[in-house]
């Protein structure tokens, strides 16, 4: 028996760089990061400050001076703590071979030395966090586009009746072009958002010049005074202040696309200063004209520039929506590869970027949900109540998993962990302040997230039960020589190659056992191809990505490891395996081979510990899942599927 591994040709750290769109490389990483990463958080000034001021504007006179300064200071320092410290300083350094995001961080934790039961608990936590992120993905396009189009009401109050129809048309267009991929408009992302941030800063500076006294809101003492003097009002205001940090998760999720350095520079030198200047400008306007605090964003703009600003804001929110939608596809794809979501048809929209994908089923479901939300809520103010819960839940769970990973890695309490825990308490304060809003809109992300979580949890539990059932029926690979020797007198070896696909490299595939024991025939060369998804984003270029082992009697085993962001292409893996220099696959050609796949057929089990409704849901999801031949890209005309029933 001989074993060879595909040599290391590249560093794992550099693998994600191959997925960068060529167009985005041309405009520079910082400009590209501004266009994609900061679309969501960059459009928050449209509604965050005005919603916050609305909490303190209980009378027609508008919010008091103390409320404006205290809430603005709270908003700015929340941006600093949550985004600058937690995400930029801490979380973005916790990368999974260059990739970031909640599920990538969970992959790091899953590779740690924690016990299986503890990992199971964190799997449930991570699934709920990912589910709430998807709930956030429904609200973000709706509130962003609605808030931008509502600027028409400032231009001309009679335009109010056109806000919802225009928003619906824009959103339909956004979802309609998803199948074309985002690379063709990538060149527009950076320049438009750069212009947007310049406009935010300029509008804020002009307003500040009229009342510079608002600069005192930069002092954290105003935050302390706010909560000491008006504790009840300040607590309620937290539910609106959190709108300013929406989109923070995008900084971490898009780490693999642009890198920590580009995202950090864009945030520190462009985005953060522009946001702070604009929020201070809106506070200055609220101090000068408290009665106009509810329209503080568009109130910064002179009448002649209102319409251009509305158009620019609409373009910015379209970009924000595009980024969130693309992020949803990535999360779904990662969840599937990690085994916590049913497989769906995935279309790769770019030959240059593995990360640019389109998931048709998710696009349709997301479009229907977003359009329904716009029709049901009809204004960004109504949606503001729904937004905070999804955002704070996702940030809280990401921070909890980060703390767990830090503890397992460092085995001691560090300054970073103490600071991160302190910020977690702040975020939990945001979450608590949003809980009273459940009845007025907060139920929406909870319902969406709850439904997604049920689907993920049911699929995860069902797969575990199927894996357990398969283990009871499988034969160890060590028993294969004896099996072939026993059948030697009746086994007819035919010319050609047979490729048997299996997920477990230690067992004999059911299809191979069937061919030997039932059909009494087997090709002269039988290739046992197994692949395993590991908790890294990509294995391209990593050592021992593919291992080839030759056994007697023409048996060759190929074991491949693929990352959770990679698409499993069996013929491509075999082509890579044929490059291993030991001669056992020298003349292999995928175009001439016959493929066999053993597919478990789950069956309802009355005596199962799995709930009846969960079994029914799992069976429905299994039937809706795409054909496994399409998922792993096997040729239909040369593939034989052999199934075996497994009770849940």
pLDDT digits over 347-404, tens only? 766 555 555 677 888 889 999 999 998 998 888 777 777 777 888 888 999 999 999 9
| Per-residue confidence (pLDDT) for residue 272, from 0 to 100 | 95
Instruction: Report the C-alpha gap between 503 and 531 in whole angstroms.
Output: 5
Average pLDDT of every residue of the chain: 82
Range name among 202-206, 237-241, 470-474 with the lowest pLDDT average: 470-474
Q: What is the pLDDT of residues 506-529, one digit of tens each?
A: 888 888 888 888 888 888 888 888
- Between CA 229 and CA 461 the distance in angstroms is 50
State the Cα–Cα distance between residues 561 and 568, nearest whole angstrom.
Answer: 10
Between 176 and 418, where is the model more confident?
A: 418
Closest CA to 342 of 634, 645, 617: 617
Residues 132 and 103 sit within 8 Å (Cβ to Cβ): no
pLDDT tens-place string over residues 289-308:
888 887 888 888 888 888 88
Query: φ and ψ at 639, to 5 degrees?
Result: -120, 135
DSSP 424-456: HHHHHHHHHHHGGGGGGTTHHHHHHHHHHHHHH
What is the SS3 assignment for 341?
A: coil
Give Cα 42 to chain centroid, integer Å.
19
Is there a contact between 136 and 394 (Cβ–Cβ < 8 Å)? yes
CA distance 494 to 161: 74
- Give pLDDT, residue 548: 85
- Asked which of 11-15, 277-281, 492-496, 643-647 is least confident by mean pLDDT, the reply is 11-15
Structure tokens at 387: 């937004």
- What's residue 186's pLDDT? 53
Range from 236-245, 425-434, 559-568, 592-601 carrying the lowest mean pLDDT: 559-568
Q: Which SS3 state, helix, strand or coil, does residue 344 take?
A: coil
Tokens at residue 109, please? 């934790």
Specify the pLDDT at position 181. Answer: 61
3-state secondary structure 459-500: HHHHHHHHHHHHHHHCEEHHHHHHHHHHCCCCCEEEEEEEEE
Task: Give the Cα separation of 162 and 644 in Å (integer).
Answer: 57
Q: Classify 29-461 by CATH class.
A: mainly alpha
pLDDT greater than 80 at residue 183: no
User: For the residues 185-191, what does the mean pLDDT come to?
Assistant: 66
Q: How do 492-502 and 639-647 pair as beta strands?
A: unpaired
Backbone angles phi, psi at 58, to 5 degrees: -70, -20
- Sign, CA dihedral 375-376-379-385, equals negative
Q: Please report, for the chain, the start and end positions of each structural domain, with discontinuous segments joined by +.
A: 29-461, 475-647
Contact 130, 102 (CB under 8 A): yes
Residue 182: predicted pLDDT: 53
pLDDT band at 24; cut points 50, 70, 90: very low
Question: Cα dist. 194→32, 140, 282 in Å?
Answer: 10, 20, 20
Structure tokens at 122: 């964190």
Task: Reply yes or no on whether the pLDDT at 611 is more than 60.
Answer: yes
Percent of the chain with pLDDT over 70: 89
Which residue from 584, 586, 529, 589 is spatially nearest to 561, judged by alpha carbons?
529
Residue 645 confidence (pLDDT): 80
Is the pLDDT higher at 34 or at 269?
269
Secondary structure (DSSP) of 62-91: ---HHHHHHHHHHHHHHIIIIIIIIIIIIG
> Which residue(s) pair with 558 in the sheet?
529, 548
This prediction has a pTM of 0.78
Structure tokens at 364: 């349709």
Q: Which of 310, 369, 408, 397 is nearest to 127 (CA)?
A: 397
pLDDT of 146 higher than 80: yes
Neighbours of 413 (CB within 10 A): 11
Element counts in the chain: helices (H) and strands (E) = 27, 11
Could you give the angle at which helices 221-229 and 65-78 cross, rounded to 10 degrees?
A: 130
Q: Residue 354's closest CA among 518, 538, 196?
A: 538
Q: Provide the phi-psi class of 496: left if phi over 0, else alpha when psi is between -120 and 50, else beta.
A: left
- Flag whether pLDDT at 7 surpasses 50: no
For strand 555-563 and strand 521-534, is the pairing parallel, antiparallel, or unpaired?
parallel
Q: Does residue 418 register a pLDDT over 70?
A: yes
Average pLDDT over residues 326-346: 81
> Which secondary structure element, helix H or strand E, spans residue 616, and what is its range?
helix 612-624
User: Does the pLDDT of residue 610 top 90, yes or no?
Assistant: no
CA 210 to chain centre: 42
Cα–Cα distance measured from residue 74 to residue 97, given in angstroms and rounded to the nearest whole number: 35
**Cβ contacts of 244 within 8 Å, gap of 6 or more:** 41, 44, 45, 48, 49, 75, 78, 79, 275, 279
- φ, ψ (nearest 5 deg) of residue 462: -60, -45
* Confidence grade of residue 572 (pLDDT, cut at 50, 70, 90): confident
449 backbone dihedrals φ, ψ, rounded to 5°: -60, -40
Degrees to nearest 5, angle at CA 605 with 604 and 607: 160
- Using pLDDT thresholds of 50, 70 and 90, give the confidence band for residue 273: very high
pLDDT, residue 72, reads 94
The answer, yes or no, to whether residue 59 has pLDDT greater than 70, is no
The more confident residue out of 634 and 288 is 288
Tell me the pLDDT band of 19, cut-offs 50, 70 and 90. Answer: very low
Question: Could you give the angle at the alpha carbon of 394 between the alpha carbons of 392 and 398, nearest 5°?
Answer: 115
The DSSP result for 129-195, as a single string, is HHHHHHHHHHHHHHHHHHHHHTHHHHH-GGGGGGHHHHHHHHHHHHHHTGGG-SGGGHHHHHHHHHH
By DSSP bridging, strand 521-534 and strand 492-502 are: parallel
| pLDDT the model gives residue 75 | 94
DSSP SS3 for 537:
coil
């Amino acid at each position: 028996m001989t074993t060879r591994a595909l040599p290391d040709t590249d560093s794992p750290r550099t693998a994600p760089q191959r997925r960068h769109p060529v167009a985005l490389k041309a405009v520079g990483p910082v400009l590209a990061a501004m266009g994609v990463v900061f679309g969501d958080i960059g459009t928050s000034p449209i509604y965050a400050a005005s919603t916050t001021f609305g909490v303190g504007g209980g009378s027609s006179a508008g919010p008091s001076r103390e409320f404006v300064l205290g809430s603005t200071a709270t908003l700015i320092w929340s941006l600093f703590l949550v985004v600058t410290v937690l995400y930029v300083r801490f979380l973005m350094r916790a990368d999974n071979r260059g990739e970031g995001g909640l599920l990538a961080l969970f992959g790091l934790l899953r590779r740690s030395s924690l016990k299986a039961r503890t990992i199971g608990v964190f799997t449930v936590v991570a699934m709920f966090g990912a589910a709430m992120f998807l709930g956030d993905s429904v609200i973000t396009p709706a509130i962003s586009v609605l808030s931008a189009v509502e600027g028409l009401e400032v231009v001309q109050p009679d335009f109010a009746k056109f806000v919802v129809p225009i928003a619906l048309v824009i959103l339909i267009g956004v979802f309609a072009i998803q199948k074309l991929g985002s690379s063709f408009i990538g060149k527009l992302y950076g320049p438009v958002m750069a212009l947007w941030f310049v406009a935010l800063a300029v509008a804020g500076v002009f307003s500040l010049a009229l009342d510079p006294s608002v600069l005192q809101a930069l002092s954290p003492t105003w935050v302390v005074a706010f909560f000491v003097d008006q504790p009840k009002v300040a607590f309620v205001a937290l539910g609106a202040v959190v709108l300013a940090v929406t989109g923070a998760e995008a900084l971490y999720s898009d780490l693999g696309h642009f890198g920590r350095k580009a995202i950090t520079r864009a945030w520190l030198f462009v985005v953060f200063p522009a946001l702070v200047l604009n929020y201070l400008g809106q506070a200055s306007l609220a101090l000068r004209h408290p009665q106009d605090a509810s329209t503080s964003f568009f109130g910064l703009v002179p009448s002649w520039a209102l319409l251009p600003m509305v158009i620019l804001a609409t373009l910015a929110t379209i970009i924000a929506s595009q980024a969130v939608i693309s992020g949803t596809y990535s999360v779904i794809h990662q969840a599937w590869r990690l085994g916590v979501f049913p497989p769906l048809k995935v279309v790769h929209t770019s030959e240059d970027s593995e990360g640019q994908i389109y998931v048709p089923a998710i696009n349709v479901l997301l479009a229907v949900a977003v359009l329904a939300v716009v029709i049901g809520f009809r204004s960004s103010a109504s949606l503001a109540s729904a937004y905070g819960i999804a955002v704070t839940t996702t940030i809280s769970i990401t921070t909890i998993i980060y703390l767990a990973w830090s503890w397992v890695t460092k085995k001691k309490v560090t300054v970073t962990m103490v600071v991160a825990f302190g910020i977690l308490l702040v975020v939990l304060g945001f979450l608590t302040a949003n809980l009273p809003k459940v009845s007025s809109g907060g139920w929406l992300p909870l319902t969406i997230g709850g439904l997604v979580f049920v689907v993920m949890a049911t699929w995860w539990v069902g797969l575990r039960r199927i894996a357990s059932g398969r283990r009871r029926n499988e034969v160890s690979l060590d028993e294969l020589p004896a099996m072939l020797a026993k059948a030697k007198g009746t086994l007819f070896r035919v010319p050609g190659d047979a490729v048997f696909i299996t997920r477990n490299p230690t067992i004999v595939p059911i299809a191979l056992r069937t061919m030997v024991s039932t059909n009494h025939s087997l090709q002269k060369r039988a290739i046992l191809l197994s692949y395993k998804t590991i908790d890294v984003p990509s294995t391209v270029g990593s050592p021992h990505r593919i291992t080839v082992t030759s056994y007697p009697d023409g048996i060759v085993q190929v074991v491949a490891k693929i990352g959770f962001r990679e698409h499993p292409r069996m013929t491509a893996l075999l082509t890579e395996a044929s490059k291993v220099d030991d001669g056992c696959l020298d003349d292999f050609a995928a175009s001439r081979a016959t493929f066999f796949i053993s597919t478990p057929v789950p069956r309802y089990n009355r005596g199962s510990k799995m709930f009846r409704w969960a079994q029914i849901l799992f069976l429905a999801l299994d039937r809706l899942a795409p054909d496994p031949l399409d998922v792993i890209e096997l040729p239909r005309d040369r593939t034989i599927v052999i199934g075996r029933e497994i009770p849940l």
